[in-house]
Amino acid sequence: MNPQGIWALLPGQHRIASLAGAGMTFGAYFLYSALLFWTAPTIQGPGYDGPNRFPHLLAPALAALVLILALPVLLVRRRPLATYAVILAETALAVEFGARTWALYAAAIVVIGYLALVRSIAVSACAAVVMLVTWLVEQAVLRSVDDVASATSQLALYAACAWAVGYGLRRRREYSIALREQRTASAVMSERLRIARELHDTVAHSIGIIAVLSGAGRRVIESQPAAAREALGAIEATSRETLIGMQRMVGALRRTELDDDSAPLTAAAGLADLDHLVTRAAHAGLRVDVTRRGEQRTLPPEIDLSAFRLIQEAVTNVVRHAGTHECRIRIDYEEKDVSIEVLDDGLGGAVHPHSGSGFGLVGMRERVAVLGGEFAAGPRPEGGFRVGARLPA
């Protein structure tokens, strides 16, 4: 059998929790049975004037009887109110048959705590009041306690403590559920923001290329028909590729739930796609010179994607704003980092790439900050613009 088949046979977390709950239920059943056995009368007690129904009952028969009487405890997880009612009824029967009832009231107090955990405040509070009323009626009939007020106060205190513990566990469980839902909602929002950023980067780059190509084609359509046809072909290819990417990203945005190991609907871009980016920029009239230094290696997916998106956004800004026909990209693979630098000799600070839409340089800075890297962008002293980033890798 392969390892996956072996792991499939092992119980999951839900099954382990179910087995643990069943084990606790059976433990409570046997504990309650032991309490019934211990408190059952076998001889007439000196302080009891009622009937003694089992004067000659042997231990095996008494054990079988208490096991039957304790059976409702097995339903405490599914029918806690019914179990509680049975325990109170057995308390009344214990009075009739001469048994000691303190152990039964202890069991009832435990069930009150459980009711506070799984039922509403009103239901659990009413259950506690019913138990106190039952106790008072028993004392009015039996008068087995000298100081009824003190004993009732102690019983009420024990019930209140059990209720407080159950209610505290209930609030903690509700808080844990709310926190888990909040984390899930935050993960959904983060995923959607990531997809929105990817959508912006892809569309902004493609529209920038299309705008440049369409303008060039319009100018040469009469004088250089071949060049115009080539520009139109590049526009068609770019628009089709962008449309497919948009459709897949919008489909991802419609997801309402995220799996723990959810993956993007499309293969993530990376530095391996840099040559394709350079080709598309060349179609737009921008010559891109790429220089790689250091030992090239496979980067973590999020670093690889962010590095490519930073370069793509920077190149798009050069195409749209710099007013130049060339730029330089330098990628340095260092021991623990990868450094990216995009340089051009264009207009520099005359046009701010991040103005208007709120993305651009702001989006690049956010990408780098999320990954714990460093980002810098601004006009060069000798003219042009520089975008630089250092990402942990």
pLDDT digits (tens, 9 = 90+) for 190-201: 767 776 777 776
Whose tokens are 């909040």? That residue is 182
DSSP 269: P
pLDDT in tens, 224-271: 888 778 778 777 777 777 776 666 666 655 554 444 444 444 455 788
Most confident option among 200-209, 276-285, 353-362: 276-285
| Domains of the chain as residue ranges with CATH | 10-144 (no CATH), 286-393 (3.30.565.10)
Least confident interval from 43-52, 105-114, 188-197, 198-207: 43-52
Contact 111, 76 (CB under 8 A): yes
Rg (the chain; Cα; Å): 38
Q: What is the largest CA-CA distance in the chain?
A: 123
18, pLDDT greater than 50: yes
Q: Taking Cα atoms as reference points, which of 295, 384, 304 lies closest to residue 335?
A: 295
358, pLDDT greater than 50: no
pTM attached to this predicted model: 0.48
Contact 21, 77 (CB under 8 A): yes
Rounded mean pLDDT of the chain?
77
Q: Percentage of the chain with pLDDT > 70?
A: 76
pLDDT band at 96 (very low <50, low <70, confident <90, very high): low
pLDDT at 61: 76
User: Which residues does residue 181 pair with via DSSP β-bridges, in sequence order?
Assistant: none
355, pLDDT greater than 50: no
* Separation CA 213–CA 235 (nearest Å): 7
One-letter amino acid for residue 46 of the chain: P
Least confident interval from 268-277, 305-314, 356-365: 356-365
pLDDT at 259: 46
pLDDT at 332: 92
59, pLDDT greater than 80: no
pLDDT at 250: 63
325, pLDDT greater than 50: yes
**Residue bearing the bigger pLDDT, 305 or 332:** 332
pLDDT at 266: 46
116, pLDDT greater than 80: yes
Q: Taking Cα atoms as reference points, which of 116, 103, 239, 222 lies closest to residue 174?
A: 116
pLDDT at 53: 53
Most confident option among 163-172, 200-209, 273-282: 163-172
* Separation CA 83–CA 91 (nearest Å): 12
pLDDT in tens, 264-293: 444 557 888 888 888 888 877 888 999 999
What is the mean pLDDT of the segment spanning 106-113? Answer: 88
pLDDT band at 389 (very low <50, low <70, confident <90, very high): very high
302, pLDDT greater than 90: no
* Separation CA 20–CA 151 (nearest Å): 36
pLDDT band at 354 (very low <50, low <70, confident <90, very high): very low
DSSP 348: G
**Residue bearing the bigger pLDDT, 354 or 244:** 244
pLDDT at 102: 76
Length of the chain: 393
Distances (CA, A) of 288 to 120, 145, 275, 315, 330: 68, 96, 10, 9, 10
Q: Taking Cα atoms as reference points, which of 278, 389, 298 lies closest to residue 340?
A: 389
